[in-house]
Each structure stands twice: as C-alpha cells, then as structure tokens.
Structure 1
Amino acid sequence: MSRYADRARELGAFLRERRNRLTPTQAGLPDVPRRTPGLRREEVAELAGLSVGYYTRLEQGHAHHPSASVLDALARTLRLTEDESRHLNALTDPTVTSAAAEQRISRSASRLLDLFAPPTAVVVLGRTGDVLGWNRSATLLFPGRLPPPGERPGPSANNARYIFTDPSARDLFADWPEVADDAVAHLRSAAGHLVDDPTVRTLVEELTAASPDFAARWSRRDVRERVTGDKNLNHPTLGPLTIGYDVTALLDAPNQWLIVYSFPPAAADHMRHLLTDA
C-alpha cells in the first residue's frame, strides 16, 4: 500500500473518531434520541458543504488528496482544536517526511543545554519521543531513565516507552494517568500522521503489544501538545514535589523539542547538593 493510501486510511479513521465524539448540540443540531453517539455522515457532509458520497469516501480512505478548503470546512464542522487541525492537514501533506533522519540532536539544542544553570533540568526530545540530549540535573530528576550525559541511553529514554513500560514511571508520576494521556497525545501530534514510517510503526506496534494502557489511548486518536504546565512527582530522593515545565520547538530542527524543568526553592537547594555530591 502506498504512503498516500496509508495516510488516507488514517485520515478516515481520525474523521470517524471525531465525528463520533461530536454531539448534535455541539454541532447546532436538534438533540433527539439516537442509537449511536455522535453525528451521522450525512450530517457532517451537509454541515461541511460536501456531498455525502465524497465525505463517505474520505472516511473509507478512498479520497487521497482533499483540498485545503475541504480540510478547513471539516475542521470547523468537527470543532477541531488547533492541534487537531494541524494533524488533519499533516495527514494529507505530501511534503511531510519520515522521522528517521531526525534522531541527532540539533546544533542549537546542544548549545542551549550548556546555558541552563543547575539545578534546572533540560531534556531534548526527537519526533518519536527519543531523548536526544539531557543534562546532569535530568539524570537525577529521572532516576534509572537517563545515564550521565555523554553515555548511550537505554530503551527507557524514549518518552512513551518509559511511561508505559518502565514501572518506575508509575511510581514517579503522582498523576500517572494524566501524564500518560499527554504522552500519547503528543506522540500522535508529532508523528501519528507518519503511518508509513517504519520508526513510528515499530514503536507503536511495540507499545500496543506491551501495554493495554497505551493501546487504549492510541486508539482514541487524541492530538495535543502541551507547552507549559506542572507535574506532581513522588521522587525517591527529593520526596513529593511539583515541578514546572516549558516546551520550546527548535527552529533549526522543527521536530525536536527542548523541555525545561524548574524546581521550587527547597527542591532546588536539594538538587544543588545532589549535583555537588554526584
């Protein structure tokens, strides 16, 4: 099956998932009893200004190159978020390439890692969630996940693999279900449209087989990128604490992200002592 056929099929699955989530009230339609949740294909087609036959072909994966105006109409009709709209367009963009060539840390990220003063923890993620770079603070923040900088990371360095297959992640994250939701939604946003890419396919197949929690979340096709927020940890050394994080896309490598973790004052002091003793 061609790359475009694979993506057309995934586009159809994404449209079906969003159609089934949208209530008649949200779409401005009469709220009458229905046998199944969501809107009917006929209703989506009418609201988007498309023929029922064409919209049906989209959902069945038989329309490979919908126009920008069609995608815009579908995004409005299905009430897609900004992240979901980008994903919709990425599924039909023939210029989007595979993830395989993006596994080396960018030059700007390498330089930025050295600019953050301890105890700030910094991690650089690639498109599929592989950790491409990190500092000593990150090694202490995620014990067992990351070796000292300069050493080769193990399989758990991958963000989704760590969260879903490493038992220590469930102990570390006090709000593990929320962290798991965000990890899958980000992976789908960053790489879920690359259905033909062997790196993405292998990772998804591995995690689907290894973790029912991952499989359930991946099937929902949530698409979301969080750029700032907090994480609640039960750290084995620092104890219970809340850390802040900020995510920045790197301009010289658009599919790499710099994640900066900041600590409250007491935890920051403790981290400085740990770094001094390490």
Structure 2
Amino acid sequence: MKRQHELGAFLRERRARLTPAAAGLIEGPPRRTPGLRREEIAELAGLSVGYYARLEQGHAAHPSESVLAALIRILQLTPDEARHLRALAGESAPLPAEQVSRSALRMMDLLKPPTAALVLGRIGDVLAWNEEAAMLFPGRLDGPRPNNARYVFCNPQAREIFPNWPEVADDTVAHLRAAAGHLVDDPCFRSLVDNLLVDSPEFAARWSRREVRRHVTGVKYLDHPALGRLTVDYEVVAVLDEPDQFLVVYGRDVEKPGTASTSG
C-alpha cells in the first residue's frame, strides 16, 4: 500500500506542475489551484476519470504499461521521472541483506592515490571506502554504517565542507528518490526517510517536492579544513554483481567552472 500511495502522491505532484498551456489546452479563467484537473489528465491519457482518481488515491495496483506510457507522455516526465514512475508501479519483493560488491572492492583496489573512492548501497549507505575518501570527506565516514543523506543533512561538517550546501542538499534528495524510490516498501528505506523527516526540516521540505534525478558525472566544490578550497570531479559507476550499488570515484583539482553537480 505504501508503494501505491507514493505512486498516487507522485502523480498528484506532477499534475500540479503542468499548466494548461503546456498540455496544449486553452488557458481559460484563473484556477483556484495550480496545474491540471484530474478530468483533464484522464481525458488526455485516454483513461476514465474514476480509474485515474483511484491511481492518485493509491487504490489502483499495478497500472499497465500502456497506462504508464500515456501518463509519462501527458505529464511530460523526464527519463529519470519515468523510470521512477515505472518502479513505483511494479511489485515489490523482500530484499536480501546487503553485501558490498566484490567487483567494486576489486576496482577500488586498482585505483592509485590520490584517487578517492567509495561504494554506495541501495539507500545511500557507504559500504566501503579507501583512505583517500576518508581524508577527502572528514566526518562523512564516521560510524559503523555511514549514510550519504544523513551526512548531508545531520552532520554539521557537511555544511562547512560544501560551500554550495543548498545545491548539494537538493541533489542528494533527488538522487535518493531516483536510486531508491522503488524501495518504498523496504523497512530500511522507510526507517531512513522517516528519521530524516523528523531530524531535518531541510530534508522534509525537499522530500515533499518529489524531485527525481541522478548525476553520474560531475564536479564538487569543497572547503576542506586541511587541504583548503578544492575542485573535485567524480564518476558514478554501476556494478553488475550488485545492481543497486555504485562505485563513486573522485579525482582532484579538476577545474570545470559552471558544472557543479552534487549527488555522489
């Protein structure tokens, strides 16, 4: 039911963003609420109003591919948002205990200093890292199971080390939804999100927006307490033996003005 409710909430939020003009409709008089009406979305997608209403209310399980394709087209979803919608519409299955990818560990062993690297699990837990990563991100890897989102929102050091912390925070939440949004029924995912909603008003405000996007390459800007101002590029690599895990590799001092991106 949580998955169906999240699907409904995602549809409602995206419907509210779509203007009549963007959907090819006549503007008409000013509306009391933003976005399109349910009736308009249903008509444009070729669905009954009752069925679309049930989707938004979380009462319609597993919509067909044709329904999803129509909604993706009408709501003008990005590729990341379309993948998220399809994931929410799928069936959930119990997840096994997470083990760090052997492939990622092997790849990390092949990297030479000063290259930093870490392995992110399915909900952003940092499962493994090298010494260079621990030096590059002081405080990020503290504790037995550090988590990327908890570091950004709950560790004061994150606000000091990231000069563009609001942008980092935006992308962290959007990446968490993109990478783990299909895990809405997973107890670990729910626990992480529920705790962050309580502990961080900044997280709660961003989570409600339902932004969905991934960055697989980009640049981070750091105010490092020991190394000073740094420009660090990164690449995010999927590993085949653990499909929900990623190896994140960081270079050092690569100047790419205007390309800051922050979710790794």
TM-score by length of 2: 0.92
Give 1:112's aligned residue: 107
1:23 corresponds to which of 6, 19, 24 = 19
Structure 1 CA distance for aligned equivalents of residues 233 and 204 of structure 2: 28
Contact 1:228 1:244 in 2 (8 A): yes
Residue 218 of structure 1 deviates from its aligned partner by: 0.9
1:247 corresponds to which of 236, 250, 255 = 236
Which blocks of at least 5 consecutive residues in structure 2 are unaligned? 256-264
Which blocks of at least 5 consecutive residues in structure 1 are unaligned? 148-152, 267-278
Structure 2 CA distance for aligned equivalents of residues 52 and 265 of structure 1: 53
Give 1:150's aligned residue: none
4+ aligned runs moved over 4 Å, structure 1: none
Give 1:46's aligned residue: 43
1:80 matches 2:77 = yes
Give 1:70's aligned residue: 67
RMSD of the TM alignment (CA)?
Answer: 1.5
2:130 corresponds to which of 128, 131, 135 = 135
Residue 47 of structure 1 deviates from its aligned partner by: 1.0
State the SS of the aligned residue for 1:177: helix
Give 2:259's aligned residue: none
Paired residue type of 1:9: H
Structure 2 CA distance for aligned equivalents of residues 10 and 19 of structure 1: 14
Residue 145 of structure 1 deviates from its aligned partner by: 2.2
Structure 2 CA distance for aligned equivalents of residues 137 and 101 of structure 1: 27
Contact 1:10 1:91 in 2 (8 A): yes
Residue 80 of structure 1 deviates from its aligned partner by: 0.6
Query: Are residues 139 and 42 of structure 1, via their aligned partners in 2, closer, same or farther at CA, if it must alter by over 3 Å?
Result: same
Structure 2 CA distance for aligned equivalents of residues 264 and 191 of structure 1: 30
Identity in percent: 65
1:206-217 to structure 2, matched below 5 A, reads: 206-217=195-206
What CA deviation, in whole Å up to 9, does each residue of 1:119-171 have, x standing for no partner? 01101100110001111110100112226xxxxx445x200000000000000
TM-score by length of 1: 0.88
1:1-278 to structure 2, matched below 5 A, reads: 5-32=1-28, 33-94=30-91, 96-98=92-94, 101-102=97-98, 104-146=99-141, 153-154=143-144, 157-264=146-253
Residue 98 of structure 1 deviates from its aligned partner by: 4.6
Structure 2 CA distance for aligned equivalents of residues 136 and 98 of structure 1: 34
